[in-house]
């Protein structure tokens, strides 16, 4: 049971429930950006297995595999079209109408259940209004937004009848807890959580920082390297006995935690083949108890303890930029990095996320200007 999750968002409502559901994330089946692409048949099997396991929500984008994810979903979901929701996106630099019409052709369908603006760059307000016009024209049953600040999300609610908001969320990456997830609960938006496995890390398969192949987007992700990798691995090692005690996999534990967070409607999980889907999309998993969720939170909080400044920090910070000084002034040993990032984002047009605070604080600790 996921308290506060929205179930009443127009035509999409039939794909939502009182409890948060697992949805299929279609990035990896696009065949690029995730290392060596599997055979077409393997990637198609991932989608088919998801349908067989009762998944009814499929998320994709024109950029996933340069359209290949949409083409594959269109082909495999053809027979089930009316029984599933297909959600796609429009890129921040793309013309909404042209982009959605191309998506519909690749998806081999007359409409998508949800069209989402992928990012908010310069013309995002205009794009959102165009997406609403496309909804009125019947090309999309609902409109959503991804990766916005809470101020943009509030503004977006005045521009179009938004049904959903999509952003990264897992037990490590918790920026949304500060502003946007509570806003979704208050304003009756369905929240779609992406990267629930931290791009595969929460599967627990990495004992050391992985060396991803050229072209794999995970080469750029900071948590697969350095101190952040070590911290996350330390958490994962302490989660293993909890998962064993619950007689579930680490993946089920991570997804169960997410499904228990108030306001989450759909957890979008990516998979590259049928075997991964069979492991991940376990039918009707037992919800985690509040005690188990609290135990997970306590481990994360213990490993990710906020830093405290050392006496040398004040002097050193005097010549820094505004953002660095803003962070430095809040290193009191108790303020969460997500809270620092959200407070900064409240103040202007340049958003910040907790990852940026963590990377900066790691440098300060190395220089003896902060300690944990
Ligand atoms: N709106 C946005 O800006 C945005 C951004 C990112 C994602 N998304 C959406 O959210 C979806 C989910 O996010 P994501 O795909 O980036 O990350 P994710 O769901 O956290 O991780 C997916 C990856 O985990 C690994 N995995 C999955 N099942 C596994 C299993 N049973 N055992 C071991 N490894 C397993 C696979 O990678 P390996 O096999 O290579 O380890 C898979 O590609 C995407 O597909 C996409 O639809 C949206």
> pLDDT per position in the chain (372 positions), as tens?
345 566 667 889 899 888 899 999 999 999 999 998 889 999 999 999 999 999 999 999 999 999 999 999 999 999 999 999 999 999 999 999 999 999 999 999 999 999 999 999 999 999 999 999 999 999 999 999 999 999 999 999 999 999 999 999 999 999 999 999 999 999 989 999 999 999 999 999 999 999 999 999 999 999 999 999 999 999 999 999 999 999 999 999 999 999 999 999 999 999 999 999 999 998 766 779 999 999 999 999 999 999 999 999 999 999 999 999 999 999 999 999 999 999 999 998 799 999 999 999 999 999 999 999
Question: Ligand 1 in contact with 90 (CB < 6 A)?
Answer: no
Asked if 170 and 77 sit in the same domain, the reply is yes
Q: Same domain, yes or no, for 165 and 223? A: yes
Domain match, 276 and 329 both: no
Q: Give distance in angstroms: CA of 371 to centre of ligand 1.
A: 34
In the prediction, which pLDDT does 6 show?
Answer: 63
Position 134 in a domain: yes
Residue 2 lies in a domain: no
| Residue 252 and residue 312 in one domain | no
Decide if 64 is catalytic: yes
CA pair distance 286, 252, nearest whole angstrom: 10
Instruction: Give percent helix, percent strand, percent coil of the chain, each to the nearest 5.
Output: 50, 15, 35
Domain membership of residue 1 (yes or no) is no
- Looking at the structure, do residues 133 and 255 belong to the same domain, yes or no? yes
- pLDDT score for 305: 97
**Which residue, of 285, 320, 342, is where some domain finishes?**
285
Is the minimum distance from the CB of 200 to ligand 1 under 6 angstroms?
yes
Give a yes or no: residue 296 inside a domain. no
Tokens 């990264």, located at residue: 168
Domain CATH for 100: 3.20.20.100
288 Cα: distance to centroid of ligand 1 (angstroms):
22
How far, in Å, CA of 86 to CA of 116, rounded?
11
Domain boundary among 252, 285, 318: 285
Count of structural domains, the chain: 2
Q: Are residue 207 and residue 343 in the same domain, yes or no?
A: no
Let me know whether 76 and 218 are in one domain.
yes
Please provide residue 3's backbone torsions phi and psi, each rounded to the nearest 5 degrees.
Answer: -60, 135
Please state the atom number of ligand 1 nearest to the C-alpha of residue 279.
31
Task: Give the pLDDT score at 1.
Answer: 39
Decide whether any atom of ligand 1 lies within 6 Å of the 203 Cβ: yes
Residues 180 and 328 in one domain: no
Q: Is 254 in the pocket of ligand 1 (CB under 6 A)?
A: no
- What is the position in ligand 1's atom list of the atom closest to the CA of 170? 20
Residues 321 and 265 in one domain: no
Task: In whole angstroms, give the CA distance from residue 211 to residue 217.
Answer: 12
Give the pLDDT of residue 348: 83
Backbone dihedral angles phi then psi of residue 84, each to the nearest 5 degrees: -125, 155
Same domain? 263 vs 119: yes
Does some domain include residue 299?
no
Question: For residue 316, what are the domain limits?
Answer: 308-371
Within-domain flag for 3:
no
Distance 252 CA to ligand 1 centre (A): 14
Do 335 and 260 lie in one domain? The reply is no
Residue 300 falls inside a structural domain: no
**Helix, coil or strand: residue 338:** helix
User: What confidence score (pLDDT) does residue 284 get?
Assistant: 66
| Residue 291 resides in a domain | no
Q: Give burial (CB, 10 Å; 0-12/13-18/19+) of 356.
A: middle
**Domain end residue (candidates: 236, 251, 285):** 285
- DSSP 8-class letter at 304: T
Distance CA 119, CA 97 (A): 16
Whether 138 and 29 share a structural domain: yes
């Amino acid at each position: 049971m996921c308290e506060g999750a929205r179930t009443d968002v127009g035509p999409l409502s039939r794909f939502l429930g009182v409890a948060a559901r697992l949805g299929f994330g279609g990035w990896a089946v696009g065949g690029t950006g995730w290392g060596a692409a599997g055979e077409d048949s393997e990637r198609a099997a991932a989608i088919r297995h998801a349908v067989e396991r009762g998944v009814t929500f499929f998320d994709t984008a024109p950029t996933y595999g340069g359209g290949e994810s949409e083409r594959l979903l269109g082909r495999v979901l053809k027979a089930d079209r009316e029984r599933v929701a297909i959600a796609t996106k429009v890129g921040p630099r793309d013309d909404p109408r042209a982009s959605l019409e191309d998506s519909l052709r690749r998806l081999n369908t007359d409409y998508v259940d949800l069209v989402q603006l992928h990012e908010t760059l310069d013309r995002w307000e205009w794009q959102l209004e165009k997406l609403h016009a496309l909804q009125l024209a019947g090309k999309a049953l609902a409109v959503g937004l991804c990766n916005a600040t809470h101020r943009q999300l509030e503004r977006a609610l005045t521009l179009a009848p938004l049904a959903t908001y999509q952003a990264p969320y897992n037990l490590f990456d918790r920026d949304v807890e500060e502003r946007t997830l509570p806003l979704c609960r208050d304003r009756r938006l369905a929240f779609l959580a992406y990267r629930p496995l931290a791009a595969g890390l929460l599967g627990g398969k990495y004992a050391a920082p992985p060396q991803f192949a050229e072209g794999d987007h995970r080469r750029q992700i900071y948590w697969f390297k350095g101190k952040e990798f070590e911290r996350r691995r330390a958490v994962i090692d302490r989660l293993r006995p909890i998962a064993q005690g619950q007689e579930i996999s680490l993946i089920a534990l991570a997804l169960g935690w997410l499904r228990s967070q108030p306001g989450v409607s759909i957890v979008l999980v990516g998979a590259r083949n049928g075997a991964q889907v069979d492991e991940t999309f376990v039918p009707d998993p037992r919800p985690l108890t509040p005690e188990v969720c609290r135990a997970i939170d306590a481990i994360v909080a213990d490993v990710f303890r906020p830093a405290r400044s050392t006496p040398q920090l004040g002097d050193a910070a005097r010549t820094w930029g505004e953002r660095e000084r803003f962070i430095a002034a809040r290193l009191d040993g108790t303020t969460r990095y997500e809270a620092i990032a959200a407070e900064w984002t409240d103040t202007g047009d340049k958003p910040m996320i907790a990852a940026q605070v963590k990377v900066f604080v790691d440098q300060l600790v190395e220089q003896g200007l902060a300690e944990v």
